[in-house]
Structure 1
């Protein structure tokens, strides 16, 4: 039946990306409906890590502390080891002192302190998703599990979506302005809409064998993240789920000669005894999930009023905390744009920038994960991945689109080597209080803001922009010297940068130029006005009530 219900945005998929989309849309004042076929969140762990960019986004959405707590069981699980079995791999690993001692984390190299106020976190999806679901249900969003999307029709100004209650078989049709397809790697929407994909390397078919085994005493003080197992007839990856009694072994198999049906629980348990090599360990299989570690990116992330995000848009091997994290960044990028269009502050062309910005980011994430996976293949002599760049932590995306104003000399590489305040890059991090609890990354709080000295504040007021002056340390990081400013988008990326007009000493008066550095050596108002005129939307303070962030910085108005 047609219920007559209309939703500005319908989200298909209730995994980590869909739930984050619901939170982000609520954060921007956009009502939404989320539907998920399964009766609840995932009970199989799947992904185990979130990178720094994902945790920055959760910081903005007010759930970072809860997500970090959900990952507490894996806090000590660090390190990649190799061996013919677990006992051999850890034989020469010294036990760390306890209590409280933790190993150095790949998520927190020394350089991370200058890039971000937070770090990545090991946390399994089965632990994180209930946290996000609880938070999403506290926001103005409707969420329905056990609901299958069975049909989709494009109208001139809306979508008609057929829904079926899995338990009762009851059907209804709702309408929506837009739809976010976060229905996973096996989702049907991209096939229904005829969206092609570009495929890269397949890293093999695997069985994700979730099992219980009491190894707490054996691994205490030498808790690990990954052990690459290479032994006669067995290649795979042993991963910690809670580093005590829950583990997963990703067994590589050849689908040309065998299938998941060839691995009943009894065979898996004997195989796991060999993989562990720990006397007295009795593994108990909980579930087995077949999957393929492949590289794939959709060629188009938008099909009319439908946007693809997460594994529906890109697949990559789980090597580098980019899988779920890239999807989280997808919907964070999209939510503010949907809010601007639905709120009348932009026309539909702003939504085209989702493809322009997130497709290159996805291509890079897929390629980088593939490179990591090759280095982590059991038996591979390749060195471990490099964690000492912003890009390794999801912080290096440099956007190029109509929503970013660039100059002729600005780099075009979609991956930034550093966070230097360049247009399209993520806002540089600097602490804004003596206690080092508030960061410049907290200043946007999901809205536009101009960051610069007092000379820019009256022009910002006139333009309806929030503004703040983070001080000289930030100015040096952002490349604005003492008199310039940056215009920051709701997603924390820089839309425009003006260097110090008194030091550039040049004037840009051509209205068609793409170089918005300055319009008058001593006129910030004219410089800001010229930049805002070039943006295809209204960059001004939103009127909806945003979800409170982790800080209350001194921002005007």
Structure 2
């Protein structure tokens, strides 16, 4: 139990010394993480700071390119502050710009992507979503992982996976096998691991038309606005061109209305811009990355099979509307990391791991519904998209023993209050449980910042502590 403030700078200067750079000990890892996107990297960081031997496998030769999921919600920024990377993330990005709507080459309106939100009692240092290209987000997370002694093994594709009572065996495309006590599939919406486990994914198509997504350079276009081009009525779908902070790039999203083929070549990207905007192909001086995306909402039937867990897009796939997918994925990792650490250290029983699916699958289902509603213009980008109000009140890990609970209850995220001149988040920072005494009770706060147990005094908390390894 840690009730003292943590010196973040000291933690960053002194990563745990007992971890080897390849993540292995005696030829075996504690946790094998498949996929080095934001989900896998976040989980790797959380495990590394707990001294857990974890190895990240990435089938690509580098981190994935492209701006992709560029929006970080306030709750994710709080997670990043705990990880010790928020200053770099804030410096690398910027707030969302106002959108300007273009019609026939004329500006015809402006609006904000996210609605202004009143505090509502959530109280956070971070009040607005922050835009950071995903490739830069990943670079920052990887650097922190390596600072803590973790590593990513590139060019390592998992072809199959098996398990027994003692562990998991991953078979690589090269023929090599890696043994681990647990494995986590963070390998995206087309997850090889999920398919190998036979876990189905149920969902729906959110939009019948595919999207072309690209990072482009358009020197003549203003960078102070997010440029939106509604469908022209000439058979072309909409387009949006968003300036990416910290770069000279824009993210282009072009809907391919009435078409199923996508030309991802530089000429194809330039043609998509010219068909939907007042810009000419020559205005696009560089195409730095391009991809296709087919908006759908899907949820894995279960998030666990034995010793293997699903996290991120391997477990839930979102429309990009509202900026929810990457954020929900990082918080999957934040939920699972402390639980794996507690079980692997022997402080908590294996039953603790059952609560990962219990807590995260309902959240993912809720957020999927929100993303889909925003995509279909049935909901606004408001307080719900910030993810500060998500809670685990119904979880079996949330024990409320006070006869008259106050505003802060078991299962709630602890707000970023300042009490007697001390910021609570300074007390909570780090991988441990924290005991807080506030005006309306005593709270055992989980390593992920949610209240686990609440009572009128500390009496009666012993059984709970033994159950969760606090």
What is the TM-score of this pair, normalised by structure 1?
Answer: 0.73
Give the stretch that moved more between structures: 315-324 or 268-277. Answer: 268-277
Deviation per residue, 1:350-400 (Å, 9 max, x gap): 00000110001100111111111111xxxxxx6x7141x3x3211122213
Within 5 Å, give how 1:452-463 maps onto structure 2: 452=437
Cα distance change of structure 1 residues 402 and 113 upon mapping to structure 2, 3 Å threshold:
closer
Please, which of 354, 358, 361 is the counterpart of residue 359 of structure 1? 361
CA contact (8 A) 2:416 2:424 kept: yes
Give the stretch that moved more between structures: 50-59 or 142-151. Answer: 142-151
1:198 is displaced (CA, Å) by 2.4
Secondary structure class of the residue paired with 1:192: helix
For 2:366 and 2:103, locate their aligned partners in 1 and report how far apart those are by CA, in whole Å: 33
In the alignment, structure 1 segments of 5+ residues that lack a partner are: 94-102, 376-381, 412-418, 453-473, 500-523, 541-557
Cα distance change of structure 1 residues 105 and 197 upon mapping to structure 2, 3 Å threshold:
closer
Confirm whether residue 424 of structure 1 aligns to residue 411 of structure 2: yes
Q: What residue number does 1:202 align with?
A: 206
For 1:277 and 1:61, locate their aligned partners in 2 and report how far apart those are by CA, in whole Å: 44
Confirm whether residue 405 of structure 1 aligns to residue 399 of structure 2: yes
For 1:199 and 1:277, locate their aligned partners in 2 and report how far apart those are by CA, in whole Å: 37
Deviation per residue, 1:418-437 (Å, 9 max, x gap): x9311111012212475xxx
Cα distance change of structure 1 residues 491 and 92 upon mapping to structure 2, 3 Å threshold:
closer
Within 5 Å, give how 1:118-137 maps onto structure 2: 118-119=126-127, 120-137=129-146
Deviation per residue, 1:309-354 (Å, 9 max, x gap): 1111101111122110000000100000001100111111000000
Confirm whether residue 19 of structure 1 aligns to residue 41 of structure 2: yes
Cα distance change of structure 1 residues 233 and 134 upon mapping to structure 2, 3 Å threshold:
same
CA contact (8 A) 1:38 1:146 kept: yes
CA contact (8 A) 1:107 1:393 kept: no
Deviation per residue, 1:22-53 (Å, 9 max, x gap): 11111222120000000111212111101111
Confirm whether residue 145 of structure 1 aligns to residue 143 of structure 2: no
CA contact (8 A) 2:238 2:276 kept: no
Deviation per residue, 1:62-97 (Å, 9 max, x gap): 0111112221xxx25422444446x43x3556xxxx
1:264 is displaced (CA, Å) by 4.9
Aligned residues: 441
CA contact (8 A) 1:420 1:428 kept: no
For 2:147 and 2:248, locate their aligned partners in 1 and report how far apart those are by CA, in whole Å: 32
Secondary structure class of the residue paired with 2:207: strand
Confirm whether residue 246 of structure 1 aligns to residue 249 of structure 2: yes
Confirm whether residue 180 of structure 1 aligns to residue 184 of structure 2: yes
CA contact (8 A) 1:486 1:497 kept: yes
Q: What residue number does 1:68 align with?
A: 90
For 1:410 and 1:316, locate their aligned partners in 2 and report how far apart those are by CA, in whole Å: 39
For 1:105 and 1:269, locate their aligned partners in 2 and report how far apart those are by CA, in whole Å: 25
Please, which of 21, 26, 31 is the counterpart of residue 9 of structure 1? 31
For 1:406 and 1:68, locate their aligned partners in 2 and report how far apart those are by CA, in whole Å: 36
Q: What residue number does 1:439 align with?
A: 423
Confirm whether residue 270 of structure 1 aligns to residue 271 of structure 2: yes
For 1:442 and 1:321, locate their aligned partners in 2 and report how far apart those are by CA, in whole Å: 27
1:534 is displaced (CA, Å) by 4.3
Secondary structure class of the residue paired with 1:317: coil
1:113 is displaced (CA, Å) by 8.6
1:280 is displaced (CA, Å) by 9.1
Cα distance change of structure 1 residues 104 and 241 upon mapping to structure 2, 3 Å threshold:
closer
Q: Once superposed, what is the RMSD of the aligned Cα atoms? A: 3.0
For 2:113 and 2:108, locate their aligned partners in 1 and report how far apart those are by CA, in whole Å: 21
Q: What residue number does 1:494 align with?
A: 451
Secondary structure class of the residue paired with 2:238: strand
Secondary structure class of the residue paired with 1:426: coil
Secondary structure class of the residue paired with 2:296: strand
What is the TM-score of this pair, normalised by structure 2?
Answer: 0.85
Cα distance change of structure 1 residues 228 and 280 upon mapping to structure 2, 3 Å threshold:
closer
Q: What residue number does 1:485 align with?
A: 442
For 1:110 and 1:490, locate their aligned partners in 2 and report how far apart those are by CA, in whole Å: 27
CA contact (8 A) 2:74 2:126 kept: yes
For 1:229 and 1:104, locate their aligned partners in 2 and report how far apart those are by CA, in whole Å: 16
Secondary structure class of the residue paired with 2:395: coil
Confirm whether residue 79 of structure 1 aligns to residue 98 of structure 2: yes
In the alignment, structure 2 segments of 5+ residues that lack a partner are: 1-24
Secondary structure class of the residue paired with 2:293: strand
CA contact (8 A) 1:208 1:248 kept: no
